[in-house]
A and B are shown apart, each in its own frame.
Chain A
Amino acid sequence: MLFLLRASKYVVGAAFAGVLLLSFYIGVSTVISSPPAATAEEEFHLHPKHLSLSSDGPFGKFDKQQLQRGYQVYKEVCAACHSMSLVAYHDLEGLGYNEAEIKAEAAQHDVPAINPETGEPSTRKALPSDHFPSPYANETAARGANNNALPPDLSLMTKARHGGAAYVYSILTGYKNQQGYKNEKGEVLLEKFPTAKTPGGLHFNPYFANLNLAMPPPLTQDGQVTYAPGNPKPTVDQMAKDVSAFLVWTAEPKLERRHATGIAVAIFLLFATVFAYLAYQNIWREQKAKVRVTGALEPENQAKSRRAKGKAGIAG
């Protein structure tokens, strides 16, 4: 009986290991006999372009003027299809607007409301306390207007995608003509993967994981948005950068506060660590000094001991 109990561990171990090695063997033979085919997505997908923003890094800060330009691009180009429901008008003080400007800005937009006399659904002018209204009443309406695709809410977009702002910037500036498109190895997409032709209603963009995106290029020409004087020229590249920077703010309005607090906390903890370490050494000094040698040491340890004594200025 005891023997069975003792043997059970070997049996269980052998069973799990055995089934795993069997799976491994079958897996390897499958890969050798029918190697998995390369896919268009693997071969032609591009990693995001490099984008440097003022908000990058532990000391990053927002460029409020850029944020204001980005907000303008959002309003005039993106807001037609994309909601931004987590941002409220009063949050715009983070862009440098004052109370009066925010009130005026809000009043330019309508939000759903109930008519106080008839009870029918209607609209009213937005207040600073309101969140940005959605362009569509609900998901069905959104899909109906966009070929069954749902334009996602943009509030958290730079936190909800690998690559963040660089990804958004790459998508916006990355639309390409699929005809004759080559990757870095020089392979032509449509020659290598003829079935990967962009279906109707989609648009080819190698920065998108599936290569074909439902959103048509939103920024098509320079000057699509007119920037106020004193700003850089609104090229497609500039507008894409600005709206990407704005989306970093919408995803993380407390970024500057977080960085500032972090620096203070890190310095405090650095001092605390140093003081605490010195206090620890202080308390342990006598105990650590009790390392004491009795009798003759091995030759290599004799040398170590001589060196240590020399350093401490002890004779002998």
Chain B
Amino acid sequence: MATKASAGVTDHSEGTEGVRRRDFLNVAAVSFAGMGVVAVALPLISQMNPPADVLALASTEVDISKIASGQAIKTIWRKQPVFIRNLTPAEIQAANAVPMSDLRDPQSLAERTKPGKANWLITMGVCTHLGCIPLGTGEGENRGPFGGYFCPCHGSAYDTAARIRQGPAPRNLDVPEYEFVSDTTVRIG
């Protein structure tokens, strides 16, 4: 619409229609700016996530052929300790004999191992209380009153199935995702 530039009077004929068009333009411009800010913020936040090389180390394969019955090893997965123990038949029996009602975090040994591989107990080596590494994997280490693992920091005691029996820890030692690639190799994660 032509504006009457030579008159000294402001032209109101654009009126409400013009106001609505004006508002829309301003709103459109500001909302594009807002979208832009969000679009920029997203990669700035996502870049803090683990990078590709850390994600590539998200699973590890471990050779378990050298672990004799009754022995355990410590290994590393995602920069944290993992306990791999070859349970003796006595230890398996002791674990199965415990009634569920005695357990703070009820789980059977079968739930914590793979079918047909009940002797292989693979758990995180991180106490579920405040994160110390429990004793019991090495020769001569204190295995606590329940014959499993014992955390020296605050006295949490785990049984032969690495379930919490005594002390402040709330949960059994976590069982990570794993699978048997072969009889001698386990892939964790």
Contact = CB atoms under 8 A, between A and B. Distances in A.
B6 to A, nearest CB: 7
B29 A275 contact: yes
B53 A278 contact: no
Interface stretch (B32-40, B121-129, B150-158, B170-178): B32-40
Nearest to A279: B29
Interface string B2-22: 111110101000000000011
B57 interface: yes
A248 B2 CA distance: 57
A249 to B, nearest CB: 15
Interface string A244-256: 0000000000000
Contacts of A293: 6
A90 B5 contact: no
B2 A313 contact: yes
B68 interface: no
Given A291-B5, A312-B5, A314-B6, A128 B29 contact: no
B53 A129 contact: yes
A263 interface: no
Interface string B37-48: 001000000000
Interface string A59-98: 0000000000000000000000000000010110000000
Given A88-B53, A129-B53, A268-B36, A275 B25 contact: yes
Interface string B110-122: 0000000000000
B26 A279 contact: yes
Contacts of B8: 292
B36 A276 contact: no
Interface string A100-121: 0000000000000000000000
Given A312-B2, A314-B2, A282 B26 contact: yes
Contacts of A279: 25-26, 28-30
Nearest to A273: B32
A291 B4 CA distance: 11
B28 A314 contact: no
Contacts, number: 60
B119 to A, nearest CB: 23
Contact of A88 (B2, B6, B26, B56): B56
Contacts of A272: 29, 32-33, 36
Chain B contact residues, majority secondary structure: helix
Contacts of B21: 282
B90 interface: no
Contact of B56 (A129, A275, A285, A309): A129
B32 A275 contact: yes
A101 to B, nearest CB: 15
A289 interface: yes
Contacts of B3: 285, 289, 312
B97 interface: no
Contacts of A90: 52, 56
B55 to A, nearest CB: 9
Contacts of A278: 25, 28-29
Contact of A282 (B4, B5, B25): B25
Nearest to B14: A285
Which of A268, A275, A278, A283 has most B Cβ within 10 Å? A275
Interface in B51-66: 52-53, 56-57
Contacts of B29: 272, 275-276, 278-280
B53 to A, nearest CB: 7
Contacts of B57: 129
A303 B28 CA distance: 39
A280 B29 CA distance: 9
Interface of B: 2-6, 8, 10, 21-22, 25-26, 28-30, 32-33, 35-36, 39, 52-53, 56-57
